[in-house]
Structures are given as structure tokens and as C-alpha cells.
Structure 1
């Protein structure tokens, strides 16, 4: 699925993503810094029923949210990881294989730990400040 959108449409885009048939619960987000990965994840988390404020886990590596239905959602920002071993030592693979939603920014920091069965979202910022999103499920 390919979608062109502006940040004003982000909540609608989050709904479209979640409506994707057989959407995998582990999703990697690929984009340059500032392209909107965190903004999109915040919108998806809201659509999943999280009522508390969501933010980027830049310094903690992972934020855990609970939706109103009790479902657990994990949001990873791996940008500050130095080595894949560091992620493994923190038990990141247990999160990835938990069966819960896992939204992963900067997955290229842990290429050998990402489950084979995952979805990917690529976001490109266009010259007119719109975005192009490609979802591979």
C-alpha cells in the first residue's frame, strides 16, 4: 500500500494502516530523522485506544502503553543503541516475540533481532512537505 499524505491527515492514515487485512503486530519504521515516524506511531497508538500521552522513547529505548482494552503496546526507538548485543542484553527479543504490538524506529540497529514475520513502513518526506508512506505487510 502506498499513501501520500500531510501531517494534518495523520490520524486518518493511522486508521488506514490498522485496517490493513492481516496486519502484522511487529512493524518497523524506516525514514530519515524528522520525517514523522514518531508522529505516526503516536497516531497509531491513539487509534489502538491508548489514552495516556505517548512520546518517543529516545532515552529509555522502549515505552510501554496500555490500551483501554488492556492490550499492551511497545514503542521502540533504537537510535541511541551502540550495538545489537546491547539490545539483546536488555531482552528486546522477548518484546518482539510477545504477541503484542511492537512499533520499532531505527530497526537497522538490530537487523538480526527483528522477527522475520514483520511489516515495514517506509516514510519519505517530499519537497512540498507532504509524505509518501509505503506499507509492506
Structure 2
């Protein structure tokens, strides 16, 4: 999947991404402000979560559940991480063993902890309201 899109098409892009991803671990790459969290918000909504997604920058992880309180997705923001040990200390490996979707912002902060079959999602700024997205599937 590689395409350019307008920000008002983000929900369509999220739906397409959920359909095309071969597994539930999505690593989001892109510059600050490119729209990684905006994409996660759309992904969480498309999954049918009862909560509205927000950035977990200070808490590192947010959990989103369905109407039966079953976990649908975990959203990680590792921007402020100093080393991989912090991710291990928060139980990151346990999240990898869950059946929920994992949306990981700043995965480059924890390279040795990312599963080999994780899907790389690369976002690029084109213009003020235009972005491109590309999947890297191992």
C-alpha cells in the first residue's frame, strides 16, 4: 500500500490499512507533526473502540477497549524513552503477546524489541493538508 491522501481522508486510509496489514503490530514512522497520532485516532475509531484516542506521550501507552471492555488496541508513544529498558520495565513484551492491535510511534527508540514481522507504516509530509503513506511488510 502506497498512496497520497488528504487529511480529510484519514478514516478511509485507516480502514484500508487495517484491511491490508498482515498482522496487528504497526510501527509508525515519520517526522514530528506528520500525523502519526491522527492516524492512530482514526485506526482506533475504525476498530470500534468506545474511547477516543489521544497521545500517550507522557504515559507511554494508552489502552482502547470495545463495548465489552475487551482490549482492542494499545497505542505506544516512545518519543520520550531514554532506552529500551524503560519499555521492558513497562511490560512491553506482555503487550506483544496480547491479541490486540499495537500501534507504536517512534519504534526506532526500541529497535531490538520490535518483532521481525511488524508492519512499518511510513508517513511523509507533502503539503499542509496532504500526506503520503507507505507500508513496509516483511
Fold similarity call, TM over 0.5: yes
Give 1:43-122 correspondences, 5 Å limit. 43-68=42-67, 70-122=70-122
TM-score, length of structure 2 as denominator length: 0.92
- Higher helix proportion: 2
Q: Which runs of 5+ in 1 are unaligned?
A: none
- Count, aligned residues: 136
CA distance in 2, matches of 1:39, 1:116: 25
CA distance in 2, matches of 1:96, 1:134: 23
2:10 is matched with: 10
Name which of structure 1's ranges 84-93 and 41-50 shifts more when overlaid on structure 2. 84-93
Deviation at 1:40, TM superposition (A): 0.3
CA distance in 1, matches of 2:122, 2:97: 22
CA distance in 1, matches of 2:110, 2:71: 25
Q: Which runs of 5+ in 2 are unaligned?
A: none
Deviation at 1:127, TM superposition (A): 3.5
